[in-house]
Amino acid sequence: MAEPQTLAQKLIAAACGRASVAEGEIVTCAVDLAMFHDSSGPRRLQPMLQELGATLWDPSRIVLVIDHYVPESDDESRRIVRIARDWAAEQRLPNVYDSLGICHVVVPQHGHIRPGMFCVGGDSHSPTGGAFGAYMFGIGSTEMLGVAVTGQIWVKVPQTLMMRWSSRLAPGVTAKDMMLHMIGRYGMNGGRYQAVEFCGEAVRALSMQERMTLSNMSAELGSQVGLIAPDATTVAYLREAGVTDEIDLARWRSDEGAQAEWHDFDAAALAPQVAAPHSPANARDVDQYGDVPLQVAYIGACTGAKLEDLRAAASVLRGHRLAAGMRLMVAPASRQDQCQAEAEGVMQALRDAGADVLATSCGACAGYGGSIPDGASVIATTARNFKGRMGSETAQVYLASPYTVAASAIAGRIADPREFMA
């Protein structure tokens, strides 16, 4: 009788053509999908491929998203984006998404990530794919070169840390709060570069976009992947994205009795969280901040500006105006989400409250927006608040959910969104 396997073990075993794998083994896996963007991809890969005289293993399994340096604001960004566009045309890449939004949102929206897949991404937030029951992690350019040429990569089979969330989140509390709480408790090396799997009633109750936030920020927890077993919610999302393949839900879940380290949390007891500068690990309950004055609020990034994030912010902002001297910037995570938010009146509610709407790109989250003023105190829905991350070395950046960022924009200080919710 085979040893019970975790979801991580099952995904790796499938990718290396084995029935099972043991923790600690090093195996070579076949890659189903390699994703990279204008910053991590062609400008670094093209010269290396040229030097080797090598060709791509399978262009149909490569997805290129142009999201970091758009809209091009200077000569350097124009150069980087031109390299990406020219290379994509030259390689006849069939899956290119140019200025349609952030890779971690756009790629799932087009049905590229499905349960059972083994994927790599040229970006540290690639664990987002784990929300779909796929093994997906971020790699650097040299490793990506190996994948691009051979279609393979080695991995060490990780230990799994099970993050089990019981009960349900209260109104105004989100997956972002769950994640900040876990990082606050365990630190940025809490996942110890292992596999983290999120489970329990509260996780099953989350929508796909909220699950994507959990998996995305596994990177901040220090995990290689952030997995969630697929279920009917996953299937419904994928059908909407145009996926018609058969999806085997029974196969892609951890076996009863599989070896894992368990951690338990009560979702109902969780308060909105805020992480102080300059680390996501500086997270604590919103009411512990007192009156921290703010000048800028930013709703953007793959963790904080998807359709449901925009809806959450609008639900707080409706009927309110920004505090005097406060600037609120909103950069929707994808064109698709922005169009839907426009149709629902969500974008209008944000504009009515005083928000400036920016392009659907990585923008200020990755420091390319240029819109965070020096010395400003900022509250943002982004995943990271490292010094200089958002461009300005002197800005003080606090992290929070879209509800909390919206409430703080109205109050002009760090505020509990529940004060503004009916």
Write out pLDDT tens, residues 200-253. Answer: 999 999 999 999 999 999 999 999 999 999 999 999 999 999 999 999 999 999
Nearest by Cα to 35 from 126, 131, 116: 126
Q: Is the CB of residue 381 less than 8 Å from the CB of residue 180?
A: no
Q: What is the mean pLDDT of residues 246-275?
A: 96
Q: Which two tokens stand for residue 64?
A: 């290129």
Q: What is the mean pLDDT of residues 121-125?
A: 92
- pTM here is 0.96
* Alpha-helical runs (H) found in 174-299: 175-186, 201-204, 208-216, 218-221, 232-240
Nearest by Cα to 297 from 257, 330, 328: 328
CA 337 – CA 301 distance, rounded (Å): 12
Q: Is the CB of residue 103 less than 8 Å from the CB of residue 122?
A: no
The pLDDT tens digits for 289-335 are 988 999 999 998 889 999 999 999 999 999 999 999 999 999 999 99
Q: What is the mean pLDDT of residues 186-208?
A: 92
Strand pairing of 195-199 and 327-330?
unpaired
CA 400 – CA 359 distance, rounded (Å): 21
CA 93 – CA 113 distance, rounded (Å): 17
Task: Give 59-75 as a DSSP string.
Answer: GGGEEEEE-SS-S--SH
Of the CA atoms within 13 Å of residue 322, those in its CB half-sphere come to 22
Q: To the nearest whole number, what is the mean pLDDT of the chain?
A: 93
Angle between helices 307-317 and 208-216 (to 10 degrees): 100
Nearest by Cα to 358 from 327, 384, 388, 397: 327
* Alpha-helical runs (H) found in 60-139: 75-90, 103-109
Strand pairing of 26-30 and 152-156?
antiparallel
pLDDT at residue 421 in the model: 86
Q: Which residues contact 53 (CB under 8 A, 6 or more apart)?
A: none
pLDDT at residue 206 in the model: 98
Nearest by Cα to 179 from 209, 208, 220: 220
pLDDT at residue 192 in the model: 75
CA 19 – CA 13 distance, rounded (Å): 6
Alpha-carbon separation of residue 178 from 20, 30, 107, 169, 221 (angstroms): 32, 33, 24, 9, 12
Residue 381 has pLDDT above 70, yes or no: yes
pLDDT at residue 2 in the model: 75
pLDDT at residue 368 in the model: 65
Residue 181 has pLDDT above 60, yes or no: yes
Q: Is the CB of residue 324 less than 8 Å from the CB of residue 411?
A: no
CA 290 – CA 297 distance, rounded (Å): 17
pLDDT at residue 71 in the model: 85
CA 47 – CA 356 distance, rounded (Å): 39
CA 294 – CA 216 distance, rounded (Å): 26
Nearest 5 degrees, angle CA 203-CA 165-CA 226? 60
